[in-house]
Every structure is written in structure tokens, then in C-alpha cells.
Amino acid sequence: MKNAAFKLAGVTLALSLAWGAQAETLRIAADPVPHAEILNFIKKQDPKLDLKIVELTSGVNANELLANGDVDANYFQHLPYLKDQEKALGKTFAVAATVHIEPLGIYSHKHKDFKSLPDGATVAVPNNATNLSRSLFLLQSQGLIKLNAKFTDPATTLATPKDIVDNPKKLKILEIESPQIPRSLDDVDLAVINGNYALEAGLSPAKDALGLEKAAHNPYANILVTTPQLENDPRIKELAKDLASPQVAEFIRQHYNGSVIPVATPQS
């Protein structure tokens, strides 16, 4: 009887601790658009999940925040970028959910199409390794450049401007920090902009981009990331479930009109 009582007490304590952890605030770092907007929608849909959303500003590394314990999770990046960050920081993180795709786009304030591009046109691209490579693959898909034939999979092979083997318009590749690229639109001929920064700048990727990544088989879906220690935390599990829900997919589809594409299937 004593053993049974101890076991029952242990189970009760475990459940109590689990629910107690779930009641604690979950701190999550996110880009303002669309990530924080999606999380704020979840706060309304699932009030029992106490989210503290830390909106990221330029120059703040959300993976460093996570590694240092300043937040419990982050939601702003895709898997190739995370893998690059793990190498750079010497840390291992855990992917808790795969949520949406923000197609990378090519924009211009000076040209209405690629045919009007002059020789020697300047193209602003992100300066981090994964999005730089992603940009070059996008430029190649639009027939503007050609990469070395060994670069076949944008998810696993990182290209740099040195890997361009054909550049018929002699485009000049200008590497800039991703958040700053929208501000360069008046100064360059083309700018390759991440979907979240395009939305923050008032651009509609689905309407304004001269060239846009395809959503099908896109390896750059944005993910919820946490630490291995928190991977099975009830709060993380709950947030992951919410992010992958049909309700959130429907919110993304309705709110962003094709500029952000949910991975989950919306409700019919």
C-alpha cells in the first residue's frame, strides 16, 4: 500500500509540475512581420498559453538569445539558416514545428521587368551565407545568371558570387544585411528581399515582385526552434500544435494573400 501511495504521489507531483510549467510564461523571439502577428493571433485563439513575444530588432541574433537562455524559443528562420547558425555558434537546437513559407522575391523601383535592365545593373542581395545562396539560385531561375553546374540543390549547396559562370548583363552583386535591403531600392536596379522584410516595407511579394520563389518543394519553410532541453516542454508542444493548426493556416492564407504560404492545409 505504501509503494502504491508513493507511486500515486509521484504521478500527482509529475502532473502538477507539468501543468505548473505550462502555466509559466513562454518567451519567444520573433520577427515583427509575419511571425509576431501570427503569434498574436494564437494568443487570442489559445489564451491558456501565456506567450511573451519578444519582437526582434536589427542586429539582434535570436539564436544567441535562445542559446543564452534569454528566450525559450524563436520563430523567424528557415532550416538551412538554422544549420548554418548551429555551426557558427557551436550549439545544437531543436525544431519544434514547421509553419510557413515566405517566398524570396526580386523587386525594383527603377524597372518594370528584367528586359529593361541595363548592362552592369546593381543587384542587392542578403549578405548571410544561406540567403545569399538562395538569392543566386533565384536570379538563376529568372535567367539572369548561371551558376556552376555543381550547384543543383539550394537546400544543401551554398553558392557565392564566385560561383557565377555566366552573367550576360554583367550584373554587380552587392551584399547587404537583409533588414537594410528594402531601404536600398532607390539606389540599386534590383533587390532580392526576404518575404518578412518585404512585408514590413509595405511590399506585397505576390503582387510587387518581378520574380518570386516557387512554393512547391521549397526548402525554406520557417520553423519554431527551441533547445533540446525544452523540446518536450508542454508549452512548446502546445505552441507547436497551434502553429500547425488549420486555424493558423487559414489566418495566414487570408491575411497575407499568397505573400506568406502556410505549410498546413487550411480548413475547407
Per-residue pLDDT of the chain (268 residues; tens, 9 = 90+): 444 443 434 443 444 444 444 459 999 999 999 999 999 999 999 999 999 999 998 789 999 999 999 999 999 999 999 999 999 999 999 999 999 999 999 999 999 999 999 999 999 999 999 999 999 999 999 999 999 999 988 878 899 999 999 999 999 999 999 999 999 999 999 999 999 899 999 999 999 999 999 887 888 999 999 999 999 999 999 999 999 999 999 999 999 988 999 997 655 4
CA distances to 6, 190, 261 from 124, rounded to whole Å, are 65, 6, 24
Q: Is residue 17 one of the residues assigned to a domain?
A: no
Q: Is residue 40 one of the residues assigned to a domain?
A: yes
Beta carbons of 194 and 102 less than 8 angstroms apart: yes
Q: Is residue 19 one of the residues assigned to a domain?
A: no
Looking at this protein, which amino acid is placed at residue 227?
Answer: T
Q: Is residue 60 one of the residues assigned to a domain?
A: yes
Separation CA 57–CA 146 (nearest Å): 34
**Cα radius of gyration rounded to whole Å, the chain:** 21
Q: Is residue 7 one of the residues assigned to a domain?
A: no
Torsion of CA 194, 99, 255, 185, to 10 degrees: 0
Residue 114, helix vs strand vs coil: helix
DSSP codes, 158-223: ---GGGEEE-TT-PEEEEE-GGGGGGGTTTSSEEEE-HHHHHHTT--HHHH-SEE--STT-S--EE
CATH number at residue 67: 3.40.190.10
Q: Residue 265 has what pLDDT? A: 62
pTM, 2 dp? 0.80
Q: Is residue 176 one of the residues assigned to a domain?
A: yes
Q: Is residue 72 one of the residues assigned to a domain?
A: yes
Q: What is the residue whose three cell numbers read 535591403?
A: 181
Q: Residue 12 has what pLDDT? A: 39
Asked if 137 and 176 sit in the same domain, the reply is yes
Pairing mode of beta strands 73-78, 26-30: parallel
CA distances to 43, 62, 85, 152, 162 from 242, rounded to whole Å, are 10, 21, 26, 35, 42
Beta carbons of 184 and 175 less than 8 angstroms apart: no
CA distances to 42, 247, 250 from 268, rounded to whole Å, are 20, 11, 9
- Name the residue range of residue 151's domain: 105-212
